[in-house]
């Protein structure tokens, strides 16, 4: 469920307002990180949107989706609508909705720009949002009950072939689920997808090289 600030529109959201180009998170999202959301602009009750860090969070802004149709987020309402990460892992708030390998592939392919035929438009974003929910085990009946089923999005998802996980993909890659709560109370909000991207090894090597040079100079 997703709510557009200013008009309580219930959304099925994997979510959000998509950036023109997806920006991977830099570093890990951890419990206690705080964020707000913007850039939502799709026709389905969901679609990609952007997570923005609030101090003391250290991750860079990134594009995300709601992992489930249940739950609520306010998007495009600015930093006044704040959330805190309460758990990070491979399952949402409902234990039956564990992260699926196909969901991980969809999101990872979207983030890396390798999802075949994807174009940043409402039709594709609707199809991708439907695919996330569907691959997380949320059936059409569940989506219909939530008011989040879109027949056109389902048809497009199948037509684009995004329902087929490549044989080369196994596991979850760097994809995880972050569970959120409203910052001003203890009420659970929504679960979102993100990539737990470690700092590049080369950066660590460069840092070590720099320390070695400093030691040599001191000697």
The tens digit of pLDDT for each residue in 135-188 reads 999 999 999 998 899 999 999 999 999 999 999 999 999 999 999 999 988 899
The predicted-structure confidence for 79-93, as pLDDT tens digits, reads as follows 999 999 999 999 988
pTM comes to: 0.81
Residue with tokens 């995300």: 64
The predicted-structure confidence for 4-15, as pLDDT tens digits, reads as follows 443 333 333 333
Which secondary-structure segment (H or E) carries 146?
helix 140-146
Residue with tokens 């998802």: 157
What does the alpha-carbon distance between residue 26 and residue 60 come to, in Å, rounded to a whole number? 5
Tell me what pLDDT residue 200 has.
58
Confidence of residue 17 (pLDDT cuts 50, 70, 90): very low
**Other Cβ atoms within 10 Å of 179 Cβ, number:** 22
Strands 3-4, 74-75: pairing kind: parallel
- Range name among 37-46, 62-71, 76-85, 106-115 with the lowest pLDDT average: 37-46
Is the alpha carbon torsion for 150, 152, 154, 156 positive or negative? Answer: negative
What does the alpha-carbon distance between residue 93 and residue 55 come to, in Å, rounded to a whole number? 25
């Amino acid at each position: 469920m997703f709510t557009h600030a200013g008009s309580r529109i219930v959304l099925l959201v994997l979510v959000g307002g998509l950036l023109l180009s997806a920006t991977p998170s830099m570093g890990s999202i951890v419990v206690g990180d705080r964020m707000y959301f913007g850039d939502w602009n799709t026709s389905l009750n969901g679609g990609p949107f952007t997570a923005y860090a609030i101090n003391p969070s250290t991750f860079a802004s990134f594009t995300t989706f709601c992992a489930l149709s249940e739950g609520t987020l306010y998007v495009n309402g600015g930093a006044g609508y704040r959330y805190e990460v309460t758990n990070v892992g491979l399952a949402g708030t409902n234990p039956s909705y564990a992260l699926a390998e196909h969901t991980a592939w969809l999101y990872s392919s979207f983030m890396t720009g390798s999802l075949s035929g994807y174009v940043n438009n409402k039709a594709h974003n609707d199809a991708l949002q439907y695919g996330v929910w569907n691959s997380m085990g949320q059936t059409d009946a569940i989506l219909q009950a939530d008011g989040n089923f879109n027949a056109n999005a389902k048809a497009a998802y199948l037509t684009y072939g995004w329902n087929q996980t490549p044989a080369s993909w196994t596991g979850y890659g760097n994809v995880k689920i972050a569970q959120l709560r409203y910052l001003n109370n203890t009420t659970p909000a929504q679960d979102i997808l993100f990539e737990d991207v470690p700092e590049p090894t080369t950066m660590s090597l460069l840092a070590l090289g720099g320390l070695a040079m400093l030691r040599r100079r001191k000697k």
